[in-house]
């Protein structure tokens, strides 16, 4: 049995059903599950010795949950040809780079993204991988799952897809779209190979056609049927920009959300990335769908501002996300929490979310969006996914609320410790599971090679 005892934590914010806050308390974990939270844990007589960590002066929270990413994009940051463009031209430019994606690039891209996430407090992440270039093996998601296991992050992979190429009126070039039969076959293969529906699962699969402008309505309907037959979640980009809304109205005569209603994409098992352009009436028909809010990406691509306060007050499932690293450009969850808070206050002023509510979205909210009731808050019998911060640095002196320190002061992004499944995966910004310096070098070399190849044939957008 693997045990870990965190002793004498200054403050534990549980975000549990009672919103409990413990002062000077201990947390005991056994085999990846929390077994005790409270004052002075004393081992039972005859029990095995436990690994003990002194946490005097530290603040503990549930680990952050990242509900939307494109990990492969970590290798395509700072591409000058697209850097300041809005979504559609940005995509048209980047497709020309992404078509050179290899399994090696997906592997290193995932490790780079996971490293940033873990060091900045994310213990559970989703990814949306939808680029499967012609001529490359189809095992790109398998590669990501291998990387997640090696680094030790809880992972919700999605089998993304693009089937509506430029020749059929879609946005992506034909070199990155796939046949729908192939997409559905591979989706089924991945579910059977990797989806773990048990409590405390480290790996799950969802199905994720990319967006209304890159897949057909037939694929949306068939994906929904396949997902529901296998009990897995469904995910897509929706209502991200006005360009997308115009595309949907011109192509289908429907607004993006109406399009989802017409292809059976509404329900408890669906989450959308962005959800900016949704009307009041559409929010009232949301029926259990969740939203992955991506503040940095929305600001960088000039997409718009998500209605976060309305979603939160209406009880719609709302999680936070860094989005792909080409539009953020980082995978820093601490920064993302701060940006969510600031962007929310730009829109809502005094009706904005508090620091506590913002952290609730980033933890428990995200877990709900990803369909999990075993992580996202701290309690006995919950997964041992938690993060600890040291707020004794001079940067925090004079702040009277630890949560405001974490959300609003924007000083330290790295956790003191990130614990996933009962194991310390990151300590003082250093990962315990992989050699980040070595991975960083290999990832950058791989990225330079891909981008140089793509630049030889790049057509300006």
Kindly list the residues in this chain that would bind Zn ion in the complex (CB under 5 A). Answer: 273, 323
Q: What are the E-state strand segments in 264-316? A: 270-274, 290-293
Instruction: Report the residue number, 273 or 436, with the smaller CB distance to Zn ion.
Output: 273
Instruction: Report the residue number, 238 or 436, with the smaller CB distance to Zn ion.
Output: 238
Cβ at position 404, least distance to Zn ion in Å = 30
Q: Measure the CA–CA gap between 460 and 448, rounded to whole angstroms.
A: 19
Cβ at position 321, least distance to Zn ion in Å = 8
Cβ at position 115, least distance to Zn ion in Å = 20
Closest CA to 139 of 96, 104, 179, 98: 104
Instruction: Report the residue number, 71 or 273, with the smaller CB distance to Zn ion.
Output: 273
Q: Measure the CA–CA gap between 39 and 252, rounded to whole angstroms.
A: 59
Q: Measure the CA–CA gap between 78 and 72, rounded to whole angstroms.
A: 14
Instruction: Report the residue number, 202 or 210, with the smaller CB distance to Zn ion.
Output: 210
CB of 25 closer than 8 Å to CB of 72: no
User: What distance separates the 2 farthest-apart alpha carbons in the chain?
Assistant: 72
Residues near 18 by Cβ (< 8 Å), separated by ≥ 6? Answer: none
Instruction: Report the residue number, 233 or 273, with the smaller CB distance to Zn ion.
Output: 273
Cβ at position 297, least distance to Zn ion in Å = 7
Closest CA to 338 of 322, 325, 324, 350: 322
Cβ at position 96, least distance to Zn ion in Å = 18
Cβ at position 342, least distance to Zn ion in Å = 21
Instruction: Report the residue number, 191 or 273, with the smaller CB distance to Zn ion.
Output: 273
Instruction: Report the residue number, 129 or 154, with the smaller CB distance to Zn ion.
Output: 129
Write phi, then psi, for 135 (nearest 5 degrees).
85, -5
Instruction: Report the residue number, 260 or 387, with the smaller CB distance to Zn ion.
Output: 260
Cβ at position 323, least distance to Zn ion in Å = 5
Closest CA to 308 of 361, 243, 369, 242: 361
Cβ at position 98, least distance to Zn ion in Å = 13
Residues near 281 by Cβ (< 8 Å), separated by ≥ 6? Answer: none
Q: Measure the CA–CA gap between 286 and 322, rounded to whole angstroms.
A: 23
Q: Measure the CA–CA gap between 147 and 141, rounded to whole angstroms.
A: 10
Q: What are the CA-CA distances from residue 282 to residues 89, 239, 311 (Å)?
A: 28, 11, 11
Q: Which residue do the tokens 């792909």 mark? A: 324
């Amino acid at each position: 049995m693997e045990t870990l005892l965190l002793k004498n934590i200054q403050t534990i914010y549980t975000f549990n059903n009672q919103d409990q806050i413990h002062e000077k308390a201990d947390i005991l974990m056994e085999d990846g599950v929390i077994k005790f939270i409270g004052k002075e844990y004393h081992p039972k007589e005859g029990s095995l010795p436990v690994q003990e960590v002194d946490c005097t002066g530290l603040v503990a929270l549930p680990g952050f949950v990242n509900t939307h990413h494109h990990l492969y994009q970590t290798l395509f940051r700072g591409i000058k040809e697209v850097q300041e463009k809005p979504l559609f031209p940005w995509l048209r430019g980047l497709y020309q780079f992404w078509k050179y994606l290899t399994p090696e690039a997906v592997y290193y891209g995932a490790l780079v993204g996971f490293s940033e996430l873990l060091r900045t407090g994310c213990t559970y992440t989703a990814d949306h991988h939808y680029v499967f270039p012609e001529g490359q093996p189809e095992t790109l998601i398998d590669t990501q799952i291998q990387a997640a296991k090696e680094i030790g992050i809880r992972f919700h992979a999605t089998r993304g897809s693009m089937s509506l190429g430029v020749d059929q009126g879609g946005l992506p070039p034909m070199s990155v779209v796939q046949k729908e039969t192939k997409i559905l076959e591979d989706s089924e293969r991945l579910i059977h190979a990797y989806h773990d529906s048990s409590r405390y699962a480290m790996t799950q699969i969802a199905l994720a056609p990319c967006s209304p402008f890159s897949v057909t309505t037939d694929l949306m309907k068939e994906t929904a049927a396949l997902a529901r037959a296998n009990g897995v979640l469904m995910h897509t980009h929706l209502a991200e920009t006005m360009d997308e809304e115009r595309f949907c109205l011109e192509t289908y005569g429907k607004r993006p959300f109406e399009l989802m209603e017409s292809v059976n994409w509404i329900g408890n098992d669906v989450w959308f990335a962005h959800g900016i352009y949704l009307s009041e009436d559409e929010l009232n028909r949301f029926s259990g769908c969740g939203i992955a809010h991506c503040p940095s990406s929305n600001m960088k691509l000039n997409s718009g501002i998500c209605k976060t306060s309305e979603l939160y007050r209406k009880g719609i499932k709302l999680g936070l996300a860094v989005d792909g690293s080409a539009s953020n450009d980082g995978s820093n969850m601490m920064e993302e929490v701060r940006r969510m808070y600031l962007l929310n206050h730009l829109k809502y002023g005094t009706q904005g979310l508090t620091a506590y509510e913002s952290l609730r979205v980033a933890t428990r909210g995200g877990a709900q969006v990803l369909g999990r009731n075993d992580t996202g808050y701290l309690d006995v019998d919950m997964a041992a996914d938690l993060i600890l911060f040291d707020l004794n640095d001079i940067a925090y002196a004079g702040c009277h609320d630890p949560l405001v320190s974490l959300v609003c002061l924007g000083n330290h992004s790295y956790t003191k410790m990130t614990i996933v499944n009962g194991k310390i995966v990151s300590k003082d910004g250093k990962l315990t599971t992989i050699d980040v310096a070595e991975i960083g070098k290999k990832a950058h070399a791989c990225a330079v090679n891909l981008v140089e190849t793509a630049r030889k044939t790049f057509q300006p957008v």
